[in-house]
Amino acid sequence: MNAQEILDKMAAIKADNPKMYARNLAQEIGVSEGELVAAQVGDKIIRLKPEMEEILQSLEPLGRLMALTRNESCVIERKGVYKGGRFYKHGKMSMGLFVDQKGIDLRLIMMHWKFAFAVEDAAKGNFSLQFFNQAGEALHKIYLTDTSDKAAYEALVETFKADDQCPGIAVEPMGDEPATKEDGDVNWQGLRDHWENLKDVHDFHPMLRKYKVSREQAFRKIGEDFAYAVENDSARRVLELAKEKQCEIMSFVGNKGCIEINTSIPDKLMERGPWFNVLDPDFNLHLNEDMIARSWVTKKPTKDGIVTSLEVVDQDGNIIITFYGQRLEGQPELPKWREIVEALTKKEMVNAAE
């Protein structure tokens, strides 16, 4: 579908639904959100050079911004300043970090960042920078706040404005996920020994890749001392109990290109239809509980002791959101956090290791 066809369909749909979100509008048209944005390149939407690291490292002068990251089932929004960004290579992977537990806290998989746009939404009166992968899926969005430096934003857009301002982008599918083994082909004892000897939570993904198992495959088979299923109201319960016990928790929400983290004590909790929300001044979370298929408590050994998490997944096994207790490296886990996790209702394990 070319840019003009997208624009024509967009106009027809918006005539009846003028307030429809861009993501839903794109789904209705049958294109990616990136294609929808690119079709509108012109006065209000500017294509930026694909100099992603340079753009991100130029954000601090803009002041206080709102960082938004989402997947199909959850949206996380955090206000703060983009400062101290670091980028590095790890083998074939290009990574980035913004680390601020009281502000913008991001883990970035930069090789997936393909397209960037500056977007002015006249109807809502907001300005943003929006980033998409090669399939046109939104990875991360950055919005100006009431206190942002608008002149600095305009200077950034002018600096990174691409020479090509023709509407449209060419998208291509993302690569296949790494293959996993059937249960009967996995070295479960080797995985168990490896899990028992973990020293850092960041060693967990490499361990799964080594044994060629998926996360839930490992959770089902490892044993209840390291992973067990809980009821699907557990995400809501974690937020409610964290508020009740005044326990700082870490909420991780991400997609294939960006993981955004918020650390705080949730306060204003609100249910709206299928969405359970945190609506605090600097932090908003929107969780679609209808999309939750399974929820797992996991325990990972580290040099600082066991680190416990709640991992919530959708029907396809994609992570929706992960919760941890607030913790800095070198510190043990918060006792309040363990109390919260222990209060969650267990489900009977099925297909556990024999």
DSSP secondary structure, 326-350, as one string: ---TT-PPPHHHHHHHHTSPB----
Q: Residue 122's pLDDT band (boundaries 50, 70, 90)?
A: confident
306: which residues sit within 8 A by CB, 6+ positions away?
A: 299, 300, 333
Residues 48 and 38 sit within 8 Å (Cβ to Cβ): no
pLDDT given at position 167: 97
Residue 56 reports pLDDT greater than 60? yes
**Which pLDDT score is estimated for 352?**
44
Quick one: pLDDT at residue 331? 87
Q: In a 3-state reduction of DSSP, which class is residue 159?
A: helix
Mean pLDDT computed over 106-123: 94
Residue 13 above 60 pLDDT? yes
pLDDT tops 80 at residue 351: no
Q: Flag whether pLDDT at 39 surpasses 60.
A: yes
pLDDT at 93 (0 to 100):
86
Instruction: Kindly state the DSSP code that residue 161 receives in the 8-state scheme.
Output: B
Q: What is the pTM of this model?
A: 0.94
Nearest CA to 262 out of 136, 17, 79, 2 is that of 79
Amino acid making up residue 149: D
pLDDT band at 353; cut points 50, 70, 90: very low
pLDDT at position 350 over 70: no
> Among 116, 53, 106, 56, which residue's Cα sits nearest to residue 78?
106
Domain boundaries for CATH 3.40.1570.10 within the chain: 3-83+114-160, 183-342
Calculate mean pLDDT across residues 189-198: 98
Length of the chain (residues)? 354
pLDDT at 125: 84
pLDDT band at 24 (very low <50, low <70, confident <90, very high): very high
Question: Where does the pLDDT of residue 329 fall: very low under 50, low under 70, confident under 90, or very high at 90 and above?
Answer: confident
Span 76-103, mean pLDDT?
93
Of the candidate ranges 37-41, 274-278, 328-332, the one whose mean pLDDT is the lowest: 328-332
Q: What is the CATH number of domain 3-83+114-160?
A: 3.40.1570.10
Q: What is the 3-state secondary structure (H, E, C) of 77-140?
A: EEEECCCCCEEEEECCEEEEEECCCCCCCEEEEHHHCCEEEEEEECCCCEEEEEEECCCCCEEE
Q: What token pair was written down for 115? A: 């397209």
What is the average per-residue pLDDT within 322-337?
93
Per-residue pLDDT at 37 exceeds 60: yes
What is the mean predicted confidence (pLDDT) over 216-244?
A: 97
pLDDT at 349 over 70: no
Tens of pLDDT, residues 127-139: 999 999 999 999 9
Q: How many CB atoms lie within 10 A of CB 348?
A: 7
| Averaged confidence pLDDT in the chain | 95
CATH (one of 3.40.1570.10, 3.40.50.170, 1.20.1440.230, 3.30.930.10) for 183-342: 3.40.1570.10
Q: What is the pLDDT of residue 91?
A: 81
